[in-house]
C-alpha cells in the first residue's frame, strides 16, 4: 500500500496530448487523487476535460471552489482560475493576477500541494514552454515529497523541465512511459 | 509573529477582518506583501497604525481585484436570454454587485440592460471593501485589454446581435473609457461585508456575487450567504462565479438553474 496521499502534475505546451496518453495508461483502480494543472490556450477554455474523459479510466473533475479532493479521481484546474489545495484537503480557487502570464499557475498549485501533503506527495513536471512550475516542484522537494521531471529529451518543448532541473534535483528524470509505470506501481 | 496572529491584530487595528479568508492563497499574498515592502508582520502593523495610505495599499494587496469585461461570456448570454428579456419595465428592478472591484462586471451588465432599453427602470448598487478600486469603477477608465473586446464580441455574436464595441467605449491607444450614459447609472459604495451587520438599505432582484466567496472559508461563506439571502426578494436571482456553488446547508434556500440560483420563499 502506497504511503503517498496525492499526485500533482504540471505541464504546458505539448502536455495535452501527453496527458491523454498518460491518462490512457493509468490503471483503472489507481487509488490516489491526481491533481492536474495545465496551461491552456486562451481561446480554448472549454472541452479539455471532456477530451480527457474519453481517454481516462478515472473520472476527470474540474472542481468547484471548496470541493473535497477524493481518491481515484483526476482534478483539473479550471480555465482562468488558480487552484490551491488547502490543508484540510479541499480546493480553493482564485482569479488573482497571472503568474508567468498564466492562470492557472502551476507554481501555485504545486506549492499549495507541498504544504498540504508534505512528504506524502508525488510531484511531476512535464513538457512546457515557460518556467512556471519550477519553484513549485522545488517546494515539493523541500518538503521531502517525491519529485519527477520529464526527461527533457522526450519533451515537445523542454523549457519547463529544464527550468525545474535548474533550480532543484528531482528524485527521478523519466520518459513518459517511465512516469506511467511509476504511477501504476504506487 | 504568526500569520493568524497578524490577521487578528490587523483586524483590531483597522476593522478589516481577513481572519476567515481561505488560508492558502491569503498566506501566499501576505508573503508577497512582506517581500515587496521588506517588512515583517510587526513592521507592517506599526506602519499601518500611522500611515493611512499604506493601510489602504495593504488592504488592496490582500484582496484580489482582477476582473474582466463579460468574464465567462456564456453566463451573460444565459442571463440575457433566460431572464432579462422577460423583466417587466413598469417597475424598478434592483441589482447589487458585491465585490465589484473596478466595475467591469457592472458595466457588462448595464450594456445588456441598455440593449433591452431598460436603463430607466433599473437601480444598480455596486459595493466593494476597497475604496481605491471604486474610484476606478466610478470613472470607468481602464487599460485596454483585447480579452475585453473578444468577450464582448462573443456575447453579441451568440445573441445574434450586431453591436459595436465603440457603442459603449471610447478607446484612445491603451486607454479605454466607458461612455458617460453608462457611468451615470450605478451607485458605487464602499462596504465592509464581513464586519457590517446591515450593509444594504434595500432589497434586490439580482445579486452578483461572482468570484468573491472563493476567497472565504466555509464559515464566512455561510455568514455572508445568509446576509445576502435576507436582502433578496423571494424569487430574486443570485449569480455566482462559474466554479462556485452555494455553501453546504444553504442549498435548500435556492432553486439552482444552471449557474443561477433563484431564492425560494421561506417555508416555516
pLDDT, tens digit, 9 for 90 and up, residues B30-59: 999 999 999 999 999 999 999 999 999 999
A97 close to B (CB below 8 A)? yes
Contact B73, B102 (CB under 8 A): no
Domain boundary among B12, B39, B62: B62
In chain B, the number of structural domains is 2
CB contact under 8 A, A97 and B66: yes
User: B-chain residues within 8 Å CB-CB of A93?
Assistant: 211, 214, 243-244
Active site residue A65: no
- Chain A CA closest to residue B210: A95
Query: Are B115 and B230 part of one and the same domain?
Result: yes
Are B14 and B119 members of one domain?
no
Q: For residue B67, is it within any domain?
A: no
pLDDT, averaged across chain B: 92
Per-residue confidence (pLDDT) for residue A15, from 0 to 100: 86
Q: Cell for A118?
A: 508534505
Tell me the residue range of the domain where A98 lies.
Answer: 24-151+167-184
- Tens digit of each residue's pLDDT (9 = 90 or more) over A104-161: 999 999 999 999 999 999 999 999 999 999 999 999 999 999 999 999 999 999 999 9
Return the CATH number at A44.
3.40.50.180
| DSSP 8-state code for residue A148 | E
Does a structural domain hold residue B68? Answer: no
In a domain, A60, yes or no: yes
The answer on pLDDT for B169 being more than 50 is yes
A29 close to B (CB below 8 A): no
A-chain residue closest to B217, CA distance: A66
Boundary of a domain, candidates B62, B95, B112 = B62
CATH number of the domain enclosing B80? 3.40.50.150
Of residues B44, B38, B51, the one with CA closest to residue B3: B44
Question: What residues of chain B lie within 8 A of the CB of A92, using their CB?
Answer: 22, 24-25, 214-215
B149 lies in the same domain as B258:
yes
CB within 8 Å of chain B, chain A residues 125-164: none
| Maximum mean pLDDT: which of A42-56, B11-25, B174-188, B252-266 | B174-188
- Grade residue B197 by pLDDT with cuts at 50, 70 and 90: low
B268: confidence class by pLDDT, cuts 50, 70, 90:
very low
- ∠ CA A46-B102-A108, nearest 5°, is 50
Top residue of B21, B242, B243 to mutate, by most chain A CBs within 10 Å, is B243
Tell me whether residue A19 is in a domain.
no
Q: How many domains does chain A have?
A: 1
Q: Pick from A78, A81, A86: which is nearest to B22 by CB?
A: A86
Task: Find the domain containing B94 and state its range.
Answer: 73-263
Q: What's the pLDDT score for residue A35?
A: 98
Contacts with A75 from chain B: Cβ below 8 Å: none
| Average pLDDT over all residues of chain A | 93
> Taking CB atoms and an 8 Å limit, are B64 and A95 in contact across chains?
yes
CA–CA distance, B177 with B182 (Å, rounded to integer): 11
> Is position A18 within any domain?
no
B153 and B221 share one domain? yes
Whether the pLDDT of residue B186 is over 50: the answer is yes
Domain presence at residue A13: no
Q: How far apart are the first and last CA of chain B?
A: 47
Q: What percent of chain B has pLDDT over 90?
A: 75
DSSP codes of every residue in B195-255: T-SS--SS-EEEEEE-SSGGGB-HHHHHHHHHHHHHTEEEEEEEEE-TT--PPTT-GGGEE
pLDDT in tens, A76-112: 999 999 999 999 999 999 999 899 989 999 999 999 9
β pairing state of B122-128 and B187-190: parallel
The verdict on a CB contact (< 8 Å) between B243 and A81 is yes
Look at B214 and A92 and tell me if their CB atoms are within 8 Å.
yes
pLDDT at A77: 96
Torsion of CA B178, B127, B221, B256, to 10 degrees: -60
ipTM, two decimals: 0.86
Q: What is the pLDDT of residues A32-59, one digit of tens each?
A: 999 999 997 665 556 888 889 999 999 9
Amino acid at each position: 500500500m502506497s504511503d503517498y496521499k496525492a499526485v500533482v502534475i504540471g505541464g504546458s505546451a505539448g502536455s495535452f496530448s501527453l496527458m491523454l496518453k498518460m491518462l490512457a495508461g493509468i490503471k483503472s483502480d489507481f487509488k490516489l487523487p491526481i491533481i492536474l494543472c495545465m496551461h491552456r490556450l486562451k481561446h480554448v477554455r472549454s472541452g479539455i476535460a471532456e477530451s480527457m474523459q474519453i481517454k481516462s479510466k478515472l473520472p476527470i473533475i474540474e472542481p468547484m471552489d471548496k470541493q473535497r479532493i477524493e481518491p481515484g479521481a483526476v482534478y483539473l484546474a479550471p480555465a482562468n482560475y488558480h487552484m490551491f489545495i488547502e490543508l484540510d484537503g479541499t480546493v480553493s480557487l482564485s482569479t488573482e493576477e497571472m503568474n508567468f502570464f498564466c492562470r492557472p499557475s502551476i507554481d501555485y498549485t504545486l506549492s499549495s500541494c507541498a504544504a498540504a501533503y508534505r512528504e506524502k506527495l508525488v510531484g511531476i513536471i512535464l513538457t512546457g514552454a515557460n518556467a512556471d512550475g519550477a519553484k513549485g516542484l522545488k517546494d515539493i522537494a523541500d518538503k521531502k515529497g517525491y519529485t519527477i521531471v520529464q526527461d527533457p529529451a522526450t519533451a515537445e518543448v523542454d523549457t519547463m523541465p529544464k527550468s525545474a532541473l535548474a533550480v532543484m534535483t528531482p528524485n527521478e528524470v523519466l520518459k513518459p512511459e517511465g512516469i506511467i509505470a511509476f504511477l501504476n506501481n504506487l | 509573529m504568526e500569520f493568524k496572529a497578524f490577521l487578528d491584530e490587523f483586524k483590531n487595528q483597522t476593522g478589516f477582518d481577513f481572519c476567515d479568508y481561505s488560508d492558502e492563497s491569503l498566506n501566499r499574498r501576505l508573503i508577497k506583501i512582506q517581500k515587496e515592502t521588506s517588512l515583517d508582520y510587526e513592521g507592517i502593523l506599526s506602519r499601518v497604525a500611522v500611515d493611512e495610505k499604506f493601510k489602504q495599499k495593504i488592504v488592496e494587496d490582500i484582496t484580489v481585484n482582477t476582473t474582466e469585461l463579460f468574464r465567462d461570456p456564456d453566463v451573460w448570454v444565459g442571463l440575457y436570454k433566460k431572464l432579462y428579456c422577460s423583466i417587466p419595465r413598469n417597475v424598478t428592478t434592483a441589482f447589487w454587485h458585491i465585490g465589484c472591484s473596478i466595475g467591469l462586471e457592472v458595466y457588462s451588465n448595464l450594456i445588456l440592460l441598455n440593449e433591452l432599453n431598460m436603463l430607466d427602470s433599473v437601480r444598480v448598487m455596486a459595493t466593494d471593501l476597497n475604496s481605491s478600486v471604486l474610484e476606478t469603477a466610478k470613472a470607468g477608465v481602464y487599460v485596454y485589454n483585447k480579452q475585453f473586446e473578444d468577450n464582448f464580441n462573443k456575447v453579441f455574436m451568440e445573441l445574434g446581435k450586431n453591436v459595436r464595441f465603440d457603442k459603449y467605449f471610447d478607446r484612445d491607444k491603451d486607454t479605454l473609457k466607458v461612455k458617460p450614459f453608462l457611468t451615470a447609472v450605478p451607485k458605487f459604495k464602499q462596504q465592509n461585508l464581513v464586519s457590517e451587520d446591515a450593509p444594504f438599505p434595500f432589497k434586490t432582484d439580482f445579486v452578483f456575487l461572482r468570484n468573491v466567496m472563493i476567497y472565504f472559508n466555509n464559515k464566512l461563506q455561510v455568514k455572508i450567504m445568509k446576509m445576502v439571502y435576507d436582502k433578496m426578494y423571494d424569487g430574486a436571482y443570485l449569480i455566482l462565479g462559474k466554479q462556485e456553488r452555494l455553501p453546504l446547508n444553504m442549498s435548500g434556500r435556492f432553486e439552482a438553474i444552471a449557474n443561477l440560483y433563484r431564492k425560494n420563499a421561506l417555508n416555516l
